[in-house]
C-alpha cells in the first residue's frame, strides 16, 4: 500500500525571521546594556573564571523559548523538526555573544570580596586587530602564589599601560580582583 504524499508545509511569513531570534537576542541585549549602562560595570573577567557554561545554558534556554514560541500552534511535524534544528544551530551561534557580551556585563553589576593578587610580568604583546588598523595590547602575568595560580595568563591592557610596561618592565604587578554576581572573577584594577 502506498503512503499518501504530504504536501509542502505552509508557514507564516514571519517564520524564518523568528527562527533566527536565538542568534539575534544576545546581540540585542548586549546593545541594550551598552546603551543603558555604558562602561559603568566592569567586564574584564580574569582568566580561568569564564562564563562559557552559563553562556551555553543561556543560549540553549533562548533557543528552546523561541522554538516553543514558533511551534505552539504548529501541527506539522516537519515544520516543528525544522524549527527545532534551526533554533538549535542559531542558539549555538549566539553562545559566544552570551558568554563574552551579555553575561560579563551582568556579572560585573554587583561585586563583592575584593582582594589583591601579586603577579610577575612575563612579557607584553601587541596583536593586530582583524581587518582594522591598530593593535590589541596584552600582558602575560604569572601569579606569585601557588594558591592563586588560576589567575596566571594573558590580560588585555590599555595602550598606555602597554607602552609604560614595555619600557619599564615592572618586576611585579598587583591585580585587584572581585567576585561578580554570576561567580566569575572580575579585574577591577591593575598597577
Q: Whole-angstrom Cα distance, residue 77 to residue 116? A: 57
Cα 189 to Cα 159: distance, rounded to the nearest angstrom: 15
| Dist. CA 144–CA 140, nearest whole Å | 13
Q: Mean pLDDT across the chain, nearest whole number?
A: 90
User: pTM, whole model, 2 decimals?
Assistant: 0.81
Q: How many CB atoms lie within 10 A of CB 185?
A: 24
Q: Can you give the length of the chain in residues?
A: 191
Vertex 56, ends 32 and 28: CA angle to 5°?
15
d(CA 84, CA 21): 12
Residue pLDDT, tens place only, 8-55: 888 888 899 999 999 999 999 999 998 988 877 888 888 777 799 999
First-to-last alpha carbon distance for the chain, in angstroms, is: 79
Local structure of residue 29 (DSSP, 8 states): H
Which ranges of 37-131 would DSSP assign to H, the alpha helix?
A: 52-71, 77-97, 103-107
Confidence of residue 3 (pLDDT cuts 50, 70, 90): low
| Cell numbers given for 169 | 618592565
Please compute the mean of the pLDDT values over residues 105-131 and round it to a whole number: 91
Amino acid at each position: 500500500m502506498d503512503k499518501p504524499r504530504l504536501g509542502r508545509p505552509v508557514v507564516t511569513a514571519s517564520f524564518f525571521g523568528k527562527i533566527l531570534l536565538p542568534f539575534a537576542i544576545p546581540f540585542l541585549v548586549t546593545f541594550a546594556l551598552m546603551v543603558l549602562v555604558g562602561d559603568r560595570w566592569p567586564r574584564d573577567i580574569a582568566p580561568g573564571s569564564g562564563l562559557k557554561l552559563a553562556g551555553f545554558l543561556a543560549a540553549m534556554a533562548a533557543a528552546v523559548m523561541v522554538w516553543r514560541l514558533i511551534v505552539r500552534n504548529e501541527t506539522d511535524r516537519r515544520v516543528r523538526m525544522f524549527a527545532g534544528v534551526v533554533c538549535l544551530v542559531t542558539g549555538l551561534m549566539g553562545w559566544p555573544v552570551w558568554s563574552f557580551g551579555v553575561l560579563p556585563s551582568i556579572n560585573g553589576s554587583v561585586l563583592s570580596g575584593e582582594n589583591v593578587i601579586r603577579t610577575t610580568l612575563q612579557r607584553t604583546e601587541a596583536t593586530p586587530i582583524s581587518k582594522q588598523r591598530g593593535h590589541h595590547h596584552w600582558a602575560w602575568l604569572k601569579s606569585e602564589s601557588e594558591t592563586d595560580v588560576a589567575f596566571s595568563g594573558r590580560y588585555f591592557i590599555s595602550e598606555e599601560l602597554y607602552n609604560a610596561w614595555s619600557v619599564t618592565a615592572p618586576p611585579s604587578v598587583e591585580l585587584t580582583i572581585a567576585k561578580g554576581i554570576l561567580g566569575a572573577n572580575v579585574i577591577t584594577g591593575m598597577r
